[in-house]
């Protein structure tokens, strides 16, 4: 991966030195794996190489098997009629998904008051009533009277020992840790930041506008960045490609746009600083340089690749 910054250690701001890794290397070159990654990134950023790969893939897609060529002319004619029917089916299917999107928008408005109340409970803006807190336990969860009394005493003891917590602490961090798709994106250094996440909302495009939706991540004030909301918008298309209508398989994401995170100095978890010791093969001298390189983090989610 390409280096973002390269400065001598003496020039490095102490605030950027919180997370430093030491790496030894020869001055004549970097690790072979690193070179391979750099080469791969450079290749995938080269439009000519990407175009050549796409052309090759397009050539493989729908390659003739010889079956159609072997059919009598009268049968080929009927097959063409079937193709035209399939194209019409694809356009109807596209309309179906457009109406599904409208239904999602309609029901999102019905869900929203419930989600708003959930958010208020989580961040201690609303205290639910006793009636709202009643929950009938499953048969497997039912306890004996003795066990219930013991659990009640233990809870009361804990309540006496601790200050009254506000809302539901670390609600969204707990969600992230228990959803496979999200937990795979989560790094240990992301967790202190996600403790400040108060709500996640989905906003659909307005009626009559191109199909899209935006994810909004709402944060309370924190020491990591000044943003109160981080967003990511997905633009979608639900119509068959005229050049390849048979490939239509429902709405597809055409592009996504993240946002700029205004990190507090020294708190950017998407970057890390490493120290490299470089040894000159000829003279045998050693020097130390510092470099800032990309770091794995959930917050890279808001900086999606272009295209």
pLDDT digits (tens, 9 = 90+) for 87-129: 999 999 999 998 999 999 999 999 999 999 999 999 999 999 9
Closest by CA position to 197, among listed 243, 235, 166, 230: 230
Q: What is the pLDDT of residue 38?
A: 64
How crowded is residue 224: how many other Cβ atoms within 10 Å of its Cβ? Answer: 20
Residue 294, pLDDT > 80, answer yes
**Strands of the sheet with 197-204, listed across from one edge:** 197-204, 212-219, 229-237, 252-257
Phi, psi dihedrals of residue 252, rounded to the nearest 5°: -130, 145
Q: What is the pLDDT of residue 197?
A: 96
**54/71: higher pLDDT:** 71
User: Minimum mean pLDDT among 48-52, 120-124, 173-177: which range?
Assistant: 48-52
For the residues 169-183, what does the mean pLDDT come to? 94
For the residues 212-221, what does the mean pLDDT come to? 96
Length of the chain as a residue count:
307
Q: Kindly give the pairing relationship between strand 271-279 and strand 20-26.
A: parallel
Percent of the chain whose predicted confidence (pLDDT) is above 90: 44
Computed over every residue of the chain, the mean pLDDT equals 81
Residue 141, pLDDT > 50, answer yes
Q: What is the pLDDT of residue 221?
A: 95
Helix (H), strand (E) at residue 257:
strand 252-257
How crowded is residue 23: how many other Cβ atoms within 10 Å of its Cβ? Answer: 13
The reported pTM is 0.68
Q: Which residue has the tokens 């497997």?
A: 140
């Amino acid at each position: 991966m390409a280096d973002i910054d390269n400065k001598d250690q003496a020039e490095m701001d102490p605030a950027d030195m919180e997370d430093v890794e030491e790496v030894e290397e020869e001055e004549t070159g970097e690790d072979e794996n690193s070179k391979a990654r750099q080469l791969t990134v450079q290749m995938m950023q080269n439009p000519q190489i990407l175009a050549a790969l796409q052309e090759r893939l397009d050539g493989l897609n729908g390659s003739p098997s010889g079956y159609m060529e072997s059919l009598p002319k009268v049968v080929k004619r009927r097959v063409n009629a079937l193709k035209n029917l399939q194209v019409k089916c694809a356009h109807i299917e596209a309309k179906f998904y457009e109406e599904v999107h409208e239904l999602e928008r309609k029901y999102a408005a019905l869900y929203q008051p419930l989600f708003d109340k959930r958010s208020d409970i989580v961040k201690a803006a609303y205290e639910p009533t006793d009636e709202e807190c009643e929950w009938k336990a499953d048969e497997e969860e039912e306890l004996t009277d003795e066990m219930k009394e013991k659990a009640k005493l233990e809870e009361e003891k804990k309540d006496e020992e601790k200050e009254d917590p506000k809302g539901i602490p670390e609600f969204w961090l707990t969600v992230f840790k228990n959803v496979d798709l999200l937990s795979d994106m989560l790094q240990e250094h992301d967790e202190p930041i996600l403790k400040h996440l108060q709500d996640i909302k989905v906003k659909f495009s307005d009626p009559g506008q191109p199909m899209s939706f935006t994810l909004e991540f709402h944060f309370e004030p924190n020491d990591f960045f000044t943003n109160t909301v981080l967003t990511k918008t997905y633009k979608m298309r639900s119509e068959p490609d005229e050049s390849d209508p048979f490939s239509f398989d429902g709405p597809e994401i055409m592009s996504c746009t993240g946002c700029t995170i205004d990190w507090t100095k020294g708190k950017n978890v998407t970057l890390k600083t490493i120290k490299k010791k470089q040894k000159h093969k000829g003279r045998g001298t050693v020097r130390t340089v510092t470099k800032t390189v990309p770091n794995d983090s959930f917050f890279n989610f808001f900086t999606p690749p272009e295209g």
